[in-house]
Homo-oligomer: A and B are copies of this chain.
């Protein structure tokens, strides 16, 4: 059964822009992963008339309607009443759900259950209950008139829990098709360069399909196959994967991983090496990214954020003569920072970044985006000189990518 789905998010806070509709993203990604085509997202406020109207529209163009949000206990949580009415179902009280809700108040919130939460135990007659062990609003699912209707809570972690534990198993039971996807992560090529390199593959790709996603300073490709089983999908993907890997060469730093820092931590673990950082314009971002990875403590010894020349000299031991002669944003200082970080932390490797993130040029007239990235290793020290253009956040992120890329390439035995 190939559903054509519409998501209807209910909540005035979405229309006021107080929050982003991240539930829709999460649910869409989950539905795509089991082969459901999501054709529309709709968001509407806590408004009876407009919720009726978008329901009428959705019934005409989708056969799976998933409502998200508006299942809370207060008067402005209208979803359940309107949907039940629109699809001609009574709301029925479930004493066992009331017990679940009361249990949640007793054990999680540790306060008496307010009377208004009683109505969360009412659900459309004949529905399948999606129990909610992580919150008070149960979800549900029923079929009416050829349309499958689901209601999910809007609180993001409750919505996710219910999608993973109830919606996806429900859909998998009804689906003959499996979808498998693989994310290919690329650093060192721009999106147009990737497109040019892979154009023949991407244009002809149907199953598997291959599409690029731009991210700040790097590129991601997603390959997606549909088939009867995971194994069948993997077999479909294999020839194209090999071709993509061949064309990208060592610009591809990983598959199905969340970023360069994950590749770096994995390589450090594999090679039994440790690293350290010395950061000026990235201000701690590289250390933060490495320590975002659980388990980083085994391979990351530490770092220095040297935002002043005094700290570069006193803590990292950068010779004052270098700072005076070349300025803080220079190749010799980047090299000395990396060497210093390696020495004082006792790490096997250290990276350094010194540059001008903006908004203004530095006092020596270096343009915004001028960045030196150093790598100190037992075999010597080298520095990349970059011109990263403008945009403080983009410059910082891209400079951090380069530092991580240098560690990766060194550990992988590549040119760096």
Residues of chain A at the chain B interface (Cβ within 8 Å) = 9, 13-22, 24-32, 37-45, 50, 53-54, 57, 61, 108, 111, 157, 192, 211, 213, 222, 276-277, 279, 281-288, 290-292, 294, 296-297, 300-308, 310-311, 314-315, 344-346, 358-359, 389, 391-393
Residues in B neighbouring A17, C-beta threshold 8 A: 24-32, 38
Q: How far is the CA of A18 from the CA of B297 in the complex (A)?
A: 31
Residues of chain B contacted by A16 (CB below 8 angstroms): 28-29, 32, 38
Knowing A19-B25, A50-B40, say if A306 contacts B302 (CB, 8 Å).
yes
Query: Is there an interface contact between A315 and B292, defined as CB atoms closer than 8 Å?
Result: no
Closest to A310 in B: B346
Write out the residue numbers on chain B whose beta carbons fall within 8 Å of the beta carbon of A310: 301, 345-346
CB closest chain-B residue, reference A291: B283
Q: Which residue in B32, B157, B288, B315 is a CB contact (below 8 Å) of A284?
A: B288
Q: Which residues of B contact A389 (CB under 8 A)?
A: 108
Closest to A360 in B: B294
CB <8 Å contact, B315 and A302: yes
Residues B307 and A301 in contact, CB atoms below 8 Å apart: yes
Q: Is A287's CB under 8 angstroms from B283's CB? A: yes
Of B213, B286, B314, the contact of A344 (CB 8 Å cutoff): B314
Give bound CA distance, A222 to B18, whole Å. 10
Q: Specify how many copies of this chain sit in the oligomer.
A: 2
Residue numbers in B under 8 Å from A315 (CB-CB): 302, 304, 315, 344-345
Supply 16 A–B pairs (Cβ within 8 Å), ascending by A.
A17-B31, A17-B32, A17-B38, A20-B25, A21-B21, A57-B57, A276-B311, A279-B284, A284-B286, A284-B288, A284-B303, A287-B305, A297-B307, A297-B308, A302-B307, A310-B346
Whole-angstrom CA separation of A13 from B31 in the bound complex = 13
Would A307 and B314 count as touching, CB distance under 8 A?
no
Once the chains are docked, how many angstroms separate the CA of A301 from the CA of B53?
A: 57
Report if A304-B302 is in contact (Cβ < 8 Å); known contacts: A28-B15, A32-B17. Answer: yes
**Residue of B with least CB distance to A344:** B315
In the bound complex, residues from chain B placing their C-beta under 8 Å from that of A40 are: 15, 42-44, 50, 54
Question: A302 touching B292 by the CB < 8 A rule?
Answer: no
Nearest chain B CB to A217 CB, angstrom units:
14
User: A20 contacts which chain B residues (CB < 8 A)?
Assistant: 20-22, 24-25
Asked if A21 and B25 sit within 8 Å, CB to CB, the answer is yes
Q: In the bound complex, how far is the Cα of B316 from the Cα of A301, in angstroms?
A: 13
Let me know if A304 and B307 touch, CB within 8 A: no
With both beta carbons as reference points, the residue of chain B lying nearest to A157 in the complex is identified as B391
* B305 A311 Cβ-Cβ under 8 A: no
Write out the residue numbers on chain B whose beta carbons fall within 8 Å of the beta carbon of A25: 14, 17, 19-21
CA gap between A21 and B13 in the complex, in Å: 14
Task: Return the contact of A288 from the options B24, B283, B358, B392 (Cβ within 8 A).
Answer: B283
Cα-based distance from A157 to B214 in the complex (angstroms):
13
In the bound complex, what is the Cα–Cα distance between A207 and B30 (angstroms)? 41
Which residue of chain B lies nearest to A392 when distances are taken between CB atoms in the complex?
Answer: B294
A108 to B192, alpha carbons, bound, how many Å?
A: 14
B54 and A41 form a contact (CB under 8 A): no
Q: Which residue of B lies closest to A302 (CB)?
A: B311
Residues of B within 8 A of A28 (CB): 14-17
Check B15 against A311 for contact (C-beta < 8 Å): no
Closest approach, in angstroms, between the C-beta of A79 and any C-beta of chain B?
A: 16
Is there contact, CB below 8 Å, between B213 and A13? yes
A57 and B393 CA atoms in complex are apart in Å by 39
- Looking at A282, A301, A315, the one whose CB has the most chain B CB atoms below 10 A away is A315
A54–B38 Cα gap in the complex (Å)? 15
Is the CB–CB distance between B291 and A305 below 8 Å? yes
Docked complex Cα distance between A358 and B345 (Å): 23
9 tightest A-B CB contacts, nearest first: A283-B291, A17-B29, A284-B287, A17-B28, A284-B284, A302-B311, A41-B43, A284-B288, A303-B305
Other contacts beyond A17-B25, A17-B28, A302-B307: 12, CB < 8 A: A15-B38, A16-B29, A17-B26, A17-B27, A17-B29, A277-B284, A284-B287, A294-B359, A297-B307, A300-B307, A302-B311, A303-B304
